[in-house]
Amino acid sequence: MLKDMKHLLNFLSKKSNYVLLYDNRNDGEHSNSYLFIDPIEVINCFEGKYLKDCFAKLETYLDGGYYAAGFLSYEAGIFFEDILNKTISVKNDFPLFWFGIYQKPIVYEVLKIKDDFQQRGSGYKISKGRFNTGMEEHSKNINKIKKYIQQGQTYQTNYTIKYKFLLQGLVNNFFGDLCRKQHVHYAALVDTRSHKIISLSPELFFKRKENKAILKPMKGTLDRGFNLRDDSYKSEALKSSFKDRAENIMIVDLIRNDIGRVSVGGGVKTQSIFDVEKFDTLFQMTSTVSANLKENISWFELFKNIFPSGSVTGAPKIRTMQIISSMEKEPRNIYTGGIGFMSPKKTGVFNVAIRTILFDKKSSRAEMGIGSGVVWDSDAKKEYEECKLKSKFLTDKYNDFQLIETMCWQYVDGFPLLDYHLSRLEQSAAYFGFLFDKKEIIKKLDKKASSFDRRQKYRIRLLLYQGGKIKIESRILSGLNGHNLIAFSNRRTDSSDRFLFHKTTQRKLYNEEYARCSRKGYFDVIFSNEKNEITEGAISNIFIEKNGIFYTPPLACGVLGGTYRSFLIKTKKFPVVEKILYKNDIINADRVYLTNALRGMVEAKVVNKSK
């Protein structure tokens, strides 16, 4: 059995009609991943009048001990409601229903994308990206929806446009890269011979276990903070947001009503509400609904009553789907449908197919739906800008990075400030979703130190990879040249860059400026942010002394919390005040000090100009 993603994706490149359901998220709720290959039959349909027959055929196979894995397109939901079927015309050449019938899945308890997965961005190319709807048309439709809201015909409408592009080369590598950027429970890679579907969905549509069902609608979004403390504030802000709570409860009520149609009396419960989940770049608000289904509810009856998810339509559901059909330029196809599997024991899991790409093998054309919930106070221009931002998920290169700790070792003290280093590393690992094993790190540091010359002082560079791999480099630490000159950089940092608050290999600007100034004999180079606030050096934190008080820039300016800086503030060796500083404050200081874990606290001399 193929046990890592690199070999699995290579293997699948030679297969067709497969379904990979992939969980690559480490948040304590990790579940199995499933691979379905070599179907004995594929059941699909393009016309709504055959949907029920397809379900009947599928359930015959399930009763016979087989599994079914595949998807329903969004438009299948139109044929589950008579009023929609009569009022909405569906014309598309993509399946409403596609399921392979399989003997059984290959189940992976752990299926990792290893740190050496591939050369990121290799083997494929994205080009000719465009939206199928311009800003002017998009704004007109947003305003139309707001009129419908004013008239009471809808309370919220999820309006979708599409980002179209060409995708050439190794599509499976593209899936692998996206999985490195987005860690979600409900990712999927589906091959239908003519198309491939790539889904990076964070949203559960439902889980079923016999007559029990769990649904988890997602409504409410906020950007991540800069560190764990900032994350905590942001998470609480989302949880207490009146607007997001109102939208969330609206969809929860819709979901409860849908599942209630196939549940026993009193069998629908809201298990939890307004939960905030952390993802790579944002927080999402979810709620959890549980249901006790009526005896012998078929898969057809279940889907007929709850599909598509209300979180991707709006409310009220039927009227809002009519509004959606009148405004969106083309069928959604797989976008906002559902991808998952059904077992012979009436268990199954389906996602809500958001962040999902449809790729046509013959033409190399690809598309991704991008939508947002429109409410009364939505701003049309901001909604379009949000769509543009969401499309960058496809084209932004994955910048592979590792977490770093740079520390010293000497025989008498061992690793000074080790607790500070490990605490900072653990917090950054938790923030970025890296695996962190404190005992293993200490074990490897001790093993490395056992080979050191007791008469020497060493510089240690520890790298932590996303999957938990640890790499330790060392060299003898040389002495200072005695000059300790520092210069100011003309290049600015951006205080909104979250990587400034963590020690990582994402430090191109710092490395370039430090190398340039080192060649001129400088000890370090000092940076300012976009507001001209002093932040830090390339390898140091900065302190100034003025009238007996020590001042250092606050972290919020875009400053890494250095271990020696933290040591000085915590131990109160001398009075330290965090204060916004500017270039003139450094120039006019009584004394200037640079601090880091290797050198401790070093008095420096300022060169009164940028270098």
Topology at the third CATH level for domain 5-211+295-395 = Anthranilate synthase (3.60.120)
Residue type for position 337: G
Q: Residue 317 CA to chain centroid, in angstroms?
A: 28
User: What CATH code is assigned to 403-476?
Assistant: 3.30.470.10
The region of weakest confidence among 75-89, 107-121, 219-233, 377-391 is 107-121
3-state secondary structure 540-581: CEEEEEECCEEEECCHHHCCCCCHHHHHHHHHCCCCEEECCC
Residue 118: predicted pLDDT: 52
Find tokens 């007109």 and name the residue. 140
> Quick one: which of 318, 306, 313 has its CA closest to 214?
306
Count of C-beta atoms within a 10 Å radius of residue 295: 6
User: Does the pLDDT value for residue 231 go beyond 70?
Assistant: yes
- Whether residue 390 contacts residue 160, with contact meaning beta carbons closer than 8 Å, is answered with no
Share of the chain above pLDDT 90, in %: 77
Count of C-beta atoms within a 10 Å radius of residue 539: 19
* Average pLDDT score, the chain: 91
Residue 113: predicted pLDDT: 66
- Kindly report, residue by residue over 545-588, the tens digit of the pLDDT: 999 999 999 999 999 999 999 999 999 888 899 999 999 999 99
- Whether residue 46 contacts residue 97, with contact meaning beta carbons closer than 8 Å, is answered with no
User: Does the pLDDT value for residue 21 go beyond 90?
Assistant: yes
- Whether residue 107 contacts residue 34, with contact meaning beta carbons closer than 8 Å, is answered with yes
If one compares 53 and 118, the residue with the highest pLDDT of the two is 53
Which residues share a beta bridge with 70?
A: 99, 340
pLDDT bin (cut points 50, 70, 90) of residue 608 is: low
Cβ contacts of 212 within 8 Å, gap of 6 or more:
290, 291, 292, 293
- Kindly report, residue by residue over 90-112, the tens digit of the pLDDT: 877 899 999 999 999 999 887 76
Residue 243: predicted pLDDT: 85
Residue 497: predicted pLDDT: 92
User: Does the pLDDT value for residue 30 go beyond 80?
Assistant: no
User: Does the pLDDT value for residue 1 go beyond 70?
Assistant: no
User: Does the pLDDT value for residue 175 go beyond 80?
Assistant: yes
- 3 state DSSP class of 301: helix
User: Does the pLDDT value for residue 538 go beyond 90?
Assistant: yes
User: Does the pLDDT value for residue 122 go beyond 90?
Assistant: no
- Kindly report, residue by residue over 363-388, the tens digit of the pLDDT: 999 999 998 888 888 888 888 888 88
User: Does the pLDDT value for residue 468 go beyond 70?
Assistant: yes
Residues marked active site are found at 203, 219
pLDDT bin (cut points 50, 70, 90) of residue 279 is: confident
Topology at the third CATH level for domain 485-610 = D-amino Acid Aminotransferase; Chain A, domain 2 (3.20.10)
Tell whether omega for the bond before 344 is within 30 degrees of 0, i.e. cis.
Answer: no
The region of weakest confidence among 9-13, 190-194, 512-516 is 9-13
Residue type for position 341: F
- Kindly report, residue by residue over 318-364, the tens digit of the pLDDT: 999 999 999 999 999 999 999 999 999 999 999 999 999 999 999 99
Domain ranges of the chain: 5-211+295-395, 403-476, 485-610
